[in-house]
Structure 1
C-alpha cells in the first residue's frame, strides 16, 4: 500500500455493477466482503477493491479522512 493507492481509492469509481460510478472508498463493506468471498477482479480495480476491503474489515476507513479533507 502506498500513498498513491490511498489517493486512488478516492478518485477511481467502480466501473460496473450495482455501485457503478461510486468511488471505491465509498463502497459499502458488505459489497467489498462479497468480492473477498467470490474473488476480486483482475487488474487495478481488483487491487483497489482488495485494499479497500482490508481497510474496511480492520476498521481503518478513517485513514482516508485527511485525504478527503484536502479535496
Structure 2
C-alpha cells in the first residue's frame, strides 16, 4: 500500500547543505547505514524525515564535570 503523503526526498547535495557537511560525509553516512537512502539509478535520495531523525539522535551534550 502506498501512502498519499510520501514526504520529501532530498538529493545528497541538499542533505549536505541542510546538515552543513560535505557530500562525501553524506555518502559515508549512507554507505555505513547510519542514514537510510533510496537508490534511484546511479544516485541516492534521502527522506527528509530520516535526516531529521538522524540529527535528532545525534545531539551531543558535553559533560561539564571532570
TM-score, normalising length: structure 1:
0.29
Q: Which has the higher strand share?
A: 2
TM-score, normalising length: structure 2:
0.30
Which structure is larger by alpha-carbon Rg, 1 or 2? 2
Q: Which has the higher helix share?
A: 1
